[in-house]
Amino acid sequence: MDLIQNVFDVIDFRSFSNAWYWMVVAILWSTSSYWVVGVPYDLIQRAEREHGDAFTDMQAVVIVYVRRTLSIVRQSAVFLIGFMCFILAMLITFAVFYQKEFAQALLLLMVPLFGLGALNVRTALKIEAEGVGSDTIFRRLRRHRLMVQAIGMFSIFITATYGMFYNLAVLHAF
């Protein structure tokens, strides 16, 4: 019985007081910031420094990601938007009306991710329109990464603030 209780304590659904949740938040935003429009940021830096083969590789990866993203969006945008709205409505219902902590934690993760998805589509459309010329592509990818980092910082701030409020007010009844 003690072993089972320990297992459930480790994988607990209390999110804001659980170290696993905060590790997921940190990994999510560091990964989102590292992969800029599907391209690892170190490849972008190397391509900007060295040009040559690194630039050609970066261009190829950007072209593949842009084509793939826009193909998915153009074929199934209505279904994707409907599915995301369903997930969002479900999370809002459980988080706001039923006051479920796990749903609140997922909502604080998913809303910014939906924004990142829209930002990726917007950037892919701009890259498709502008092409992958040397000056424009670096400027576009840097701007995209900066926006992702800004969304991440804002999201982490909101999540941490709400998590502290939840832990103080709800769990400890202050």
pLDDT for residue 50: 87
Which band of pLDDT confidence, cut at 50, 70 and 90, is reported for residue 35?
Answer: very high
Angle at 95 between CA 166 and CA 17, to 5 degrees: 35
Q: Tens digit of pLDDT for each residue in 110-148?
A: 999 999 999 999 999 999 999 887 678 999 999 999 999
Q: Tens digit of pLDDT for each residue in 142-165?
A: 999 999 999 999 999 999 999 999
85 within 8 A of 114, measured Cβ to Cβ = no
- Find the mean pLDDT for residues 26-53: 92
Measure the CA–CA gap between 132 and 57, rounded to whole angstroms: 12
Q: Report whether pLDDT(90) > 70.
A: yes
**The pair of three-digit structure tokens given for residue 73, joined into one six-digit string:** 């969006």
